[in-house]
Amino acid sequence: MSERIIGIMGAMPEEIDGVISLLENPQRAIIGMRSYTSGTINGIRTVVVFSRWGKVAASATAATLIHIYKITELIFTGVAGAIDPTLKIGDIIIAKKLIQHDLDARPLMSRFEIPLLGLTHLECGEGQLDRARHAVTPLITNGILHDTIGKNVLDEFGINTPNLHIGDIASGDQFFSSDLQKQELNEALPTVLCVEMEGAAVAQVCYEHKIPFTVIRTISDTADEKSHVDFPKFIQKVSSQYSVLVIEHLLANHSGIC
């Protein structure tokens, strides 16, 4: 059996910096204008990298992790905008299905269909879903997020008790900042919980190379006209802490399920 090597990607440098701090014996290399830091977390070989924003950047980063670092599993952590009206800032979403909402080659093929794959979405494996659920749930139910981040900071963003959701995530090279965008996406993809810019592209690269993947997102905004408000502060004070705690618990609970 080959050695397990985990690749961890994030779309915000502030989130990745915290994860890098978990690495033992870190070593840094620059490849394709990205900084890859390798080491171990809980004895598991791990490579952490800031992917930059968007599907192309994320795909290129994932391919490097696979071909240069020979990862056997990939975890993506970051923020997302809420599409489902029941979601609140601070909620955590584990992707079950990932869809490229801006992929449209009609009339050659169906809307959202990935050329040559014949798929309109990609699914996270049941093993990854179970492991992510077991890692994230205690962060909420045991008050770990609350104790780590602090009541004053959580109150500042209106976060009381975050909820964990498992469902569909849409990705595309578009920042959502209006109710009209949300309405159009919801009409086209009514099961989508949130929107971001990388997850489905990473999922496609992993699918084509038979690499298990997990995408975990924190709701940072409501993907409407208020999306820009305090976004940098949220990344610095909240989601960066979320990412560290999620990765720490996910690798601590790593049971070898693929």
Q: Which tokens in the block code for residue 90? A: 């601070």
Instruction: Give the per-residue pLDDT at 258.
Output: 37
| Cβ-Cβ contacts under 8 Å for 112 (sequence gap 6 or more) | 99, 100, 101, 103, 104, 120, 121, 189
pLDDT in tens, 206-219: 999 999 999 999 99
pLDDT in tens, 218-258: 998 876 666 555 778 888 889 999 999 999 999 985 544 33
- Sequence ranges of the domains in the chain: 5-252
Nearest to 169 by CA among 115, 117, 132: 132
Nearest to 77 by CA among 231, 201, 235, 215: 215
Q: Measure the CA angle with vertex 112, ends 106 and 116; round to 5°.
A: 80
Query: What span, in angstroms and rounded, lies between the C-alpha atoms of 83 and 91?
Result: 12
pLDDT in tens, 106-151: 999 999 999 999 999 999 999 999 999 999 999 999 989 989 999 8
**CATH 3.40.50.1580 for domain 5-252:** yes
